[in-house]
Amino acid sequence: MTTARTTTLVHRLLTGAAMTVLATAIGAAAPQDKKAAAPAMSGSGDAASVKKTADGMVGHWLSTEGETRPNGQGGQNYLKRDFTNTPALAKAALIFFKDGAYKDKTFTLVASGPYKFVKPSAAVAGAIETDFSFSDIRITPHNADMVGMLNSGKTGSCGPAPWKLDVEQSLKATDGCAVFGIKLSTYKEFDLVKVEGDKLYYGARPADGSVPDTTAKRATSLQVPLVRAK
């Protein structure tokens, strides 16, 4: 796996997704139940729409099947999403796989942090513009190539200890990972969130494989939904 491809993989999935999330996304663990204050809306209809989304997105959400995303190199990334949201924090677990068989994991990335509702989307009916920040990112490498990649940078620039197979590390102590170009303290995503019954949607990721790290790159359409875990 090349450095360029691996970097794109990590950036592509900080999310939603949200954190999707995660991210969403991409919204990403949620140790608190402190209610995050929603910003003032222009009208009662807007406020009601935001409250519906805020109440509806809380819970545990899963991919219904394996998913693909463009990797920015002309190919595809293969992943499954496992998101948990509280009223204050989002946790997005993204499990990457070698190929479309979804059997051989390459790495797991877990991004977590607070989120803020902005306003109803003008582009997608029923969706709310939502900004996600990240207070922690954790990575678990599942093959030797990923272990080597994570250990290829300067000591102390990507996690506090040498990386080992299937051992999770937080990037918080090193404020991210220089190998992947992640700077945790300044990273933010500008996303969409929509709830319909037991389905949770985040904004579609940029087609070039990048991340929505500016308001100009906020989605105008939605990804395939996550479903509420039973």
- What's the pLDDT tens digit per position in 88-147? 999 999 999 999 999 999 999 999 999 999 999 999 999 999 999 999 999 999 999 999
Residue 211 confidence (pLDDT): 85
- Distance (Å, whole) CA 222 – CA 224: 7
Q: What is the pTM of this model?
A: 0.79
What is the pLDDT confidence band of residue 35, given thresholds at 50, 70 and 90? very low
C-beta separation of 126 from 160 below 8 A:
no
